[in-house]
Amino acid sequence: MPIECLVLGAGQEVGKSCVVVTINGKKIMFDCGMHLGYVDHRRYPDFSLISKTGDFTNALSCIIITHYHQDHIGALPYFTEVCGYNGPIYMTYPTKALAPLLLEDNRKVMVDRRGEKELFSSENIAECMKKVIAVDLKQTVLVDRDLQIRAYYAGHVLGAAMFYAKVGDAAIVYTGDYNMMPERHLGAAQIDRLQLDLVITESTYAATLRDSKFAREREFLKAVHKCVASGGKVLIPTFGLGRPQELCMLLEDYWERMHLKVPIYFSAGLTIQANMYYKVLINWTSQKVKSTSTTRNAFDFKHVHSFDRSMINAAGPCVLFATPGMLNGGFSLEVFKQWAPYEQNLIILPGYCGVGTVGHGLMSAKTPTKVKVDESTQIDVRCQIHQMSFSAHTDKKGIMDLVKFLSPKHVILVHGEKPKMASLKESIESDFGIPCYYPANNETVRIPSTHYIKADASKEFLKSSLSPNFKFLQATSRADTDFILNERTEPLVRVCDDRVAEGALILQKDGQHSKIVHQNELMVMVGGENHEVQFAHCCPVRVSNELKDVALSPGENMPPVLDKQSLLHLLYTKLSNDLQDLTIQNDGDRLQIESFIVSVCLKEKCPHRIHVNPDSTSEAVNFCCVWSMGEEKLAWRVISTMKNLELKSG
């Protein structure tokens, strides 16, 4: 059965990741996100495409959530508690711990602060999380008798995972968001080499090759220091987990080295609570953080304090991390409205900003002077705007490296922008020869899946497989004294045994049983006659003048030096030297190279001989060459070699 991939979100866009994959009858939903840039029907995936009747519990085998970002999990409470899905949901332990915090924070931003219609409640979030089954990394989980899943470390954010899913012989990997480069607080993505029909990968930075991480960090620190030194305030809009911890570790180290006293703040609540989870879940962090945790926890920030709303207009410089990222409403947008009109202040956008967000509007304008924050409000922007790529997504090189490592039969790109996805598709297909697709939302891609057939093997076929197929190759071995000049090398013979078994696969009428038989058995089984097409060529080979002097005409008694066996031996010696990678057998009457046969031709008029005038200084001896269909390349090579030989005595 083909693998069907229905993209309900993140198709040619970044937002509301949701991909439903059907593998051998099992339907899996990977991620259930919301789009942060829309407030209409485009906010959530179109779940009606999964089941027209609305019976989502029976339609889906399970839901897999890769990490806690809202564009990957934001629609989950709505889908379970409002739409009625009641089946299993899988995610890692850190994701299960942190997801409720992020979901509730996002709900408050949408409802309590923006006044939007409540699509799900705090109680819905709690009920939704009761359906979640937490998994460990590399733990193989049997969802049912046929479907197995396994999580792999993805980097990106705490607890993020790539997921492997297998049904029968068909297998896929869905990456979610991942990072192929290690960070201060997280390691790089890690996955086993797997046999895969399909990889579904994010492509946020499909056309970006990142510069040096150290250069970006230096630029960031320089901009922050310059702003606070002149009395300005720095606003860094981020989501509550991931970027704040990474950048706080960077600032904490810099503040210590530079002996700075300027306060660094986290917006109160979510991020302070998140830091507690980072301390508890330290085994999911980078190796450096884990190795130093016994002496000092990297998330105990000496210079970082909690920030209260009453401090927005307080005098003096400061650095503030405020949620949410992308300036998509909430406290970060509230602070932006107050700080943006002042030239000494600085707004740093440390990652990707989705279409429809205020952050995207700032990044899109060359020199923003006004920005629209809602339908009725525009803000004067006189502060400095810096976009710096501290995103935890992998870049184009990382995506290409992962695809090369996994070498799947097909690739589907999601979570990216259409023009950049088109460019990445071309690179994957041209560099690796792997078919690649980037469907839009609500489109389905069907790809063939793997199905292995178990077959019996006949005794004659197995016996033919055991026959050796020796090849003798020359190799050169050096002594251990490589540093000695003019070192003498010793030629050695390397023996290869590449066995090739030819047979036929017979499928029984019931379609369930199959057997591999030797080709000789096949003709008996089907009651047919064995026909073989052969080709022949009578090839002249020159002989030296000394052999010419003792040569007699064909048919007469030849002296011992020129009898058939001697001529074959001379030819055998010459061919063995010139064709060292081939195995040549000499049984006295003929030479055999695989199915290519060479024998001395004593006929005056051979029908397979093309008349050639011999060289004026030599005579020719004719050899008849016979080979089967399919051996044309071998025949051409051997005959070409023979025509350039000269047989000599001794």
Tell me the catalytic residues.
Answer: 202
Give 538: exposed, middle or buried? Use CB within 10 Å, 0-12, 13-18, 19+: middle
Q: Which two tokens stand for residue 638?
A: 């051997």
**What's the token pair of residue 563?**
């009898």
Burial class, 47, CB count within 10 angstroms (exposed 0-12 / middle 13-18 / buried 19+): buried
Q: Which helix (H) or strand (E) segment is 213 a member of?
A: helix 213-229
E strand or H helix that includes residue 422 = helix 418-432
**What are the strands of the beta sheet with 514-518, ordered from one edge?**
456-457, 514-518, 503-507
Residue 305, beta-bridge partner list? 265
Which amino acid does the sequence have at 120?
F
Tokens of 53: 């009747």
b/e map 228-238, b = 16+ CB within 10 Å = beeebbbbbbb
The SS3 assignment for 536 reads: strand
Q: What's the rounded Cα separation, in Å, for the pair 513 and 456?
A: 8
Residue 370: how many CB atoms within 10 A of its CB?
Answer: 11
Spell out the residues 6+ positions from residue 102 whose beta carbon is closer than 8 angstroms to its own. Answer: 68, 69, 70, 73, 239, 240, 241, 270
Place of tokens 């205020």: 358
CB count in 10 Å sphere of residue 317: 19
Q: Please list the residues that pair with 148 across neighbouring strands.
A: 142, 166
Q: How far apart are CA 305 and CA 388, in angstroms?
A: 24
DSSP letters spanning 259-272: T----EEEETTHHH
Residue reference for tokens 């000269």: 646
